[in-house]
């Protein structure tokens, strides 16, 4: 079965990103496919490579990057939500005159169409939020 996940909240403040990650791992372990993980609202904050969480706790951003690499996941950050919250890749930096970028590995910035496409193409779409 093809799953799509929508994550509406940022790392640590809400459990949403954790729940989604553990769901994704369980789904992959069962042999399902994750069509796309889409990050919206504050969920885009899961994609900054600038976090330094305490060493004795989970590193939410890095483990998403790692899961994406291991399983070739498509992790998409909504461009409009990212612009509002300061998640920036090279393209966005150039377009909007920012002097740096902060997008973590394994994530890409794109439009809301990717979320709708995920809803169309996946068999199930699960939303994690507040």
Say if CB 103 and CB 109 are below 8 A apart: yes
Active site residue 78: yes
Tokens of 79: 């461009």
Smallest distance, another protein to C-beta of residue 110, A: 12
Nearer to another protein, 75 or 125 (CB): 125
Instruction: Give the residues lining the site for another protein (CB under 8 A).
Output: 1, 3, 6, 8, 15-16, 19, 22-23, 25-27, 29-30, 32, 40-41, 80-81, 111-113, 115-117, 119-121, 123-130
Question: Which residue is catalytic, options 78, 79, 82, 118?
Answer: 78
Smallest distance, another protein to C-beta of residue 130, A: 6
- Contacts of residue 112, Cβ cutoff 8 Å, sequence gap at least 6: 40, 78, 80
How many Å from the N-terminal Cα to the C-terminal Cα in the chain?
Answer: 26
Catalytic residue ranges: 78
């Amino acid at each position: 079965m093809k799953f799509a996940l929508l994550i509406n909240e940022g790392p640590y403040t809400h459990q949403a990103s954790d729940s989604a990650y553990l769901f994704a791992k369980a789904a992959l372990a069962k042999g399902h496919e994750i069509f796309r993980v889409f990050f919206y609202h504050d969920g885009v904050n899961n994609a900054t490579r600038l976090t330094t969480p305490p060493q004795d706790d989970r590193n939410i951003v890095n483990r998403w990057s790692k899961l994406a690499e291991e399983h070739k996941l498509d992790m998409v950050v909504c461009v409009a939500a990212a612009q509002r919250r300061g998640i920036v890749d090279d393209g966005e930096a150039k377009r909007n005159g920012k002097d740096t970028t902060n997008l973590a590995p394994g994530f890409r910035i794109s439009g809301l169409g990717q979320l709708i496409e995920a809803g169309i193409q996946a068999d199930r779409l699960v939303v994690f939020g507040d």
